[in-house]
Amino acid sequence: MDIGVIGMGNMGQHMARRLVEAGHRVLGFDPRPDIRDRLREIGAAPAESAADLTTRSQIVIVMVVNDAQAERAIWGPEGVAEGAHRDLVLVSMSSLSPSFVREVAERASGEFHVVDAPVSGGVEGAANGTLTIMVAGSDEAVAVVMPAFEAMGSPVVVGGTAGLGATMKVINQAMYFTALASAAEMVVAGAKAGLDPDTIVNVVSTSSGASWALQHRVPLAWRANYVSGGSLAIAHKDLGAAVKLADELGIAARVSTAAASLVADAMDVHEGAGDDPLIVEMVERLSAAPINAERQPR
């Protein structure tokens, strides 16, 4: 199939490479100037614009950072809508707000198809083709895109209406980041009490307190100088979306709200830069308790 990918960041470039390796013809577009070299390295071809990419694709995948970037990519000048055709399936794989995805589907009605399919698994999952893909859309449109999904990971159909995939992703992200925040607090506490932090991770990972965040993110605070490839800004955005969703539905989301506040503090300290293990660093900083006594939280 001819597949276009808009957004060639850490996730998008790996997803495009998996599609190329599965035998699909892949076009890519990203406004950043180094995009052409990156595309050639993975065997994809560059497009001049999102509209150019769309005219030559059966499927267009949008993998951008937020609603604003998706708005520009889809409805802005030289965006997807300018190159769209009636058989096009636009696939939203970014972490976007459910209300925005619903609006995209409503605006596109009768012009092109929309499948809502955000992913979980991070950069590692994108690179390894092991993403969990949360799919919502019409049976017909989903069937068209399923071979592409299978090249990138494991698709799970969660509903027939665009917006339900985004809702599922918001819920997942809230559970992940609240687990990360809770694990950060207790690992810092345990280290201050005299436990080895790696021992804490190893023991809890085989116990009832185990979580993916504890195993794969928290230890990067002391093993990799807070570098993970997962953005602190994404944590801030996703927890904000979760709290907003809960508020809209009248749900008392106190734990998610507290985690969102901690991440907001980390965003302020680090001016929006850095990776999500900085959530651990924020707990160290607030507690004046660095996990590694030989260095202070940066």
Active site (catalytic) residues: 169
264 close to 216: Cβ distance less than 8 angstroms: no
Compute the distance between CA of residue 49 and CA of residue 6 in angstroms, rounded to an integer: 9
SS3 readout for 111-136: CCEEEECCEECHHHHHHHCCEEEEEE
Q: Which two tokens stand for residue 98?
A: 């459910």
Q: What is the DSSP string of 190-234?
A: HHHHT--HHHHHHHHTTSTT--HHHHHTTTHHHHSTT--SSBHHH
> How many angstroms separate the Cα of 200 from the Cα of each of 88, 108, 210?
50, 50, 10
**Packed helices 35-42 and 10-21: angle between N→C axes, nearest 10 degrees:** 30
Those residues with Cβ within 8 angstroms of residue 153's Cβ, 6 or more apart along the chain or in another chain = 119, 121, 125, 129, 130, 131, 132, 133
Q: What is the DSSP string of 53-98?
A: HHHT-SEEEE--SSHHHHHHHHHSTT-HHHH--TT-EEEE-S---H
